Amino acid sequence: MGAGKSTLGRRVAARLARPFVDLDAEIERHAAASISTIFATRGEVEFRAIEEKLAREALDHPVPAVISLGGGAMVSKTTARRLREQALTVFVEVDVDEAWKRARRSRRRPLAERESEFRQLFEQRLPLYEDAADARARDANDIVLAAAGVLVEGGAYGRLGDLVPEQVEIVVDERVRGLHPPPLDAPIHAVPPGEMAKSLSICTRLWQALRLERAGTLVAVGGGSTTDVGGFVAAAYLRGISWVAVPTTLVGQVDAAVGGKTGIDLPHGKNLVGAFDWPERTVVDHELLATLSAAERRNGLAEVVKTGLLAGEELWELPEPELVRRCAAFKAAVCLRDPRDEGERAMLNLGHTFAHALEAASKYELAHGEAVALGLTAALLLSGLPDDAARVDELLAPEPARVDLDAAWAALKRDKKSRGGSVQLVLLDAPGKPRTGVELPEKDVRRALADLIA
């Protein structure tokens, strides 16, 4: 009681585009009486029977929903068992003093009339909540991250052994292996840094080296390229095994390792071969970012700025741990709403149509973040937002790319988001208001691309 479950539940349901069920409200509708009246006229035993029945119906409904359970629902062993079998259960943590302050103001809570009894009830129920919880949360971002299987926690890398199954093998960026040796007693397969890892030859080497069975798990430790290739290898090996993403760069933690997209490059385009394969878990430890170079941090900042523009919030102004959490939660929500990139997830391509073309034209020597920074300025100018484009230029200071315009244009025309030979752009009506599938005259798009090239 008083944790804010109903308020948070509505927010999360809206962010995940799922129905919301407030079990207390359903009980009042079903009984045609307030909770206080049910307690007074029928007693707590009958109230709990109604609560258990409606919890079962909500959990059995074929359409997944966000369900706010009453504070005492966990007293039912039947409900607790069903939650273990059928749901992701999130414990919304709240201090007992704050819970009492909120609960005592509500007339819906007959068990919140006396502070001493309220505190005693809090202590009695706490072990039930902790036993049932798959994750803990204090706000809607935490709940979204839990729904996406994303753990954002400082120091999580050090206890990786507690977060992954026993039968694992590890794919790790060879540079990261020296900086942050994986804390697991398991076979390790090193891959080259950056886009060099995202090739069919690297995949073939990994497939031949793996000795995992179908029940095994592949752990990918490194930047976005490492999680891309590790996830793709897992998706195809033995027709699919579980995998865990452990991003060690800012790009990976705020973007690349969230959302279940995996893939490798072809000579004429980026990420043209891949699979949608959501990791069993994504472990995000911001403490790993301490070893990033300034250039690598700038690469990640480009994705942070992109996310902030889409969200309509200056997320880049936040302290790094909160910046990582908020960006990962934003992307997780978008991807949970559109897991196979069939609709609004396309918004995440803001600036990337130009960026991928520049990367391909540079034979992937141009850093992803530099390319994204350039792509964002082009997208904002085409959106008619010169002030925002100037702000991005100020934040990221990208240098014009030294690539061949014709090669970049050919790569842009082959973008995987193209439809019927027409380039599909993501533009902004304003920060926080993206438009997807925008087609502009070729001459305007080509001119925007040329302006990015030295």
CATH of the domain at 243: 3.40.50.1970
Same domain, yes or no, for 84 and 183?
no
Amino acid letter, residue 9: G
Domain closes at, from 118, 140, 162: 140
Query: Cα dihedral sign for 422, 228, 329, 20?
Result: positive
Q: Which of 96, 113, 140 is the last residue of a domain?
A: 140
pTM given for the model: 0.92
Please tell me the predicted confidence (pLDDT) of residue 338: 96
Residue 113 above 80 pLDDT? no
Q: Examine residue 83 and state whether it is found in any structural domain, yes or no.
A: yes
Burial class (CB in 10 A: 0-12, 13-18, 19+), 186: middle
**What's the confidence (pLDDT) of residue 131?**
92
What is the rounded CA–CA span in Å between residue 381 and residue 399? 17
Looking at the fold, whether 59 and 88 belong to one and the same domain comes out as yes
Q: Is residue 304 part of a domain?
A: no
Same domain, 271 and 234: yes
Cα separation of 171 and 109, whole Å? 52
Percent of the chain whose predicted confidence (pLDDT) is above 90: 85
Could you report the per-residue pLDDT of 81-111, keeping only the tens digit for each?
999 999 999 999 988 888 888 877 665 677 6
pLDDT digits (tens, 9 = 90+) for 178-189: 999 999 999 999
Judge if 156 and 133 occupy the same domain. Answer: no
Average pLDDT of the chain to the nearest whole number: 94
140-147 and 5-16 helices cross at what angle (nearest 10)?
50
Question: Taking residues 132-138, what's their average pLDDT?
Answer: 94
3-class SS of residue 46? helix
Q: What is the pLDDT of residues 326-348, one digit of tens each?
A: 999 999 999 999 999 999 999 99
Residue 415 has pLDDT above 90, yes or no: no
Task: Please tell me the total count of domains within the chain.
Answer: 3
pLDDT at 107: 58
The answer to the question of residue 301 being in a domain is no
Amino acid 111: pLDDT: 66
- Give mean pLDDT, residues 190-200: 95
CATH number of 78's domain: 3.40.50.300
Provide the 3-class DSSP secondary structure of residue 427.
strand
First-to-last alpha carbon distance for the chain, in angstroms, is 61
Closest CA to 390 of 376, 406, 410, 408: 376
H/E element, 81: helix 77-86
pLDDT at 325 over 80: yes
Give 266's pLDDT tier (boundaries 50, 70, 90).
Answer: confident
Whether residues 359 and 271 fall in one domain: no
pLDDT band at 418 (very low <50, low <70, confident <90, very high): confident
Same domain for 209 and 163: yes
CATH number of the CATH domain containing 372:
1.20.1090.10
Range of the domain at 224: 150-292
**Residues 253 and 376 grouped into a single domain:** no
d(CA 418, CA 412): 9
Residue 217 lies in a domain: yes
Tell me which residue of 332, 331, 256 sits closest to 300, measured CA to CA: 256
Among 140, 159, 179, where does a domain finish? 140
Instruction: In whole angstroms, give the CA distance from residue 101 to residue 98.
Output: 5
Name every residue whose Cβ is closer than 8 Å to that of residue 52 and which is 6 or more positions away in sequence: 73, 76, 78, 79
**pLDDT confidence of residue 421:** 74
The token duo for 281 is: 């878990």
405 is a domain residue: yes
Closest CA to 75 of 29, 113, 121: 121
Q: What is the pLDDT of residue 245?
A: 98
Asked whether residue 267 carries a pLDDT value surpassing 90, the answer given is no
